[in-house]
Structure 1
Amino acid sequence: MPDSRHSVSVAGVVVDDRRRALLIQRRDNGHWEAPGGVLERDEDIISGLKREVLEETGLHVTPTALTGIYKNMARGIVALVFRCTVEGGTLTPSDESKDFRWASAEEVKHLATEAFAIRVLDALSDLPTVPIRRHDGVHLIP
């Protein structure tokens, strides 16, 4: 019988005063993405978000809005994405991130795969409702 469980991940789209998003370059695959990861079973969503962003960037952040809900249909991962502001810390590479880049919406489109770029683009926009999207790990699924 196939495993029907899902995991829940969180990502923080850290936005600066120029409306650019902080992207990390992952060590494992070189992809550019917003910082984030899987929630621990015993932690709440906001604590997990802050922990993941801190672990991957060295920054302390405050989430200001839920900006999207995304499901990787191939892997069964539900991701909650939040727009965040920096409260302190220093950008520091980690075991998971090897580089950082502040990117405009147009740059994000070229740096990240479609499934991960849309998360950042949704966070940078002022959509009237929170989008709920699905993807295959790379491309959006209509």
Structure 2
Amino acid sequence: MDHDNMHSVSVAGVILDECGRALLIQRRDNGHWEAPGGILERDEDITSGLLREVREETGLKVEPVALTGVYKNMSRGIVALVFRCHAVGGQLTETDESCAFHWATADEIRALASEAFAVRVLDAMNMGHPPAVRQHDGTHLLGMARSYL
């Protein structure tokens, strides 16, 4: 197997509140604001991984509503599946992975998150559209996807 050609798959949950704001977590390791999520374990199905990652980072139990985008970090070979979710239980709790939470408007998301992570949340907030397919370099969108923000 050629390890240079391997990819990993991550999942993220964009949780919306009754006002249409999205929950961002501040990552403890790098201080970045993002939607909660992470890498799927090899033997884990997509939905189980999404539920686990969101709960580990927020303390919330969520229900996925829709796949809202597929994103590839071209420099690291990570494919991310992002889902719009709504909370069905639990309570926000800081964890080893998150140190703060913010219910953010679209403008706040643009200001707080890097372009590559902001677009994931903005796509999830944009209801009624098919899932987005975008690529980035870890920070910035690449190609035609740049015109979105």
Per the TM superposition, whether the score is higher than 0.5 is: yes
Aligned to 1:60: 61
Q: Superposed, which structure 2 residues align to 1:16-55 within 5 Å?
A: 16-55=17-56
1:23 partner letter? L
Q: Superposed, which structure 2 residues align to 1:66-77 within 5 Å?
A: 66-77=67-78
Percent same amino acid among aligned pairs?
A: 67
1:60 partner letter? K
| Distance of 2:128 and 2:86 partners within structure 1 | 18
Aligned to 1:88: 89
Aligned to 2:147: none
- Residues 88-138 of structure 1: CA distance to partner in whole angstroms, max 9, x if unpaired? 001001111000000011110000000000000000002522110000000
Q: Superposed, which structure 2 residues align to 1:111-122 within 5 Å?
A: 111-122=112-123
- Secondary structure of the residue aligned to 2:123 is helix
| Distance of 2:19 and 2:47 partners within structure 1 | 25
| Distance of 2:63 and 2:127 partners within structure 1 | 18
Alignment RMSD = 1.0
With the length of structure 2 as denominator, give the TM-score of the two structures. 0.93
Report how many residues are paired. Answer: 142
- More helix as a share of residues: 2
Structure 1: where are the runs of 5+ without partners?
Answer: none
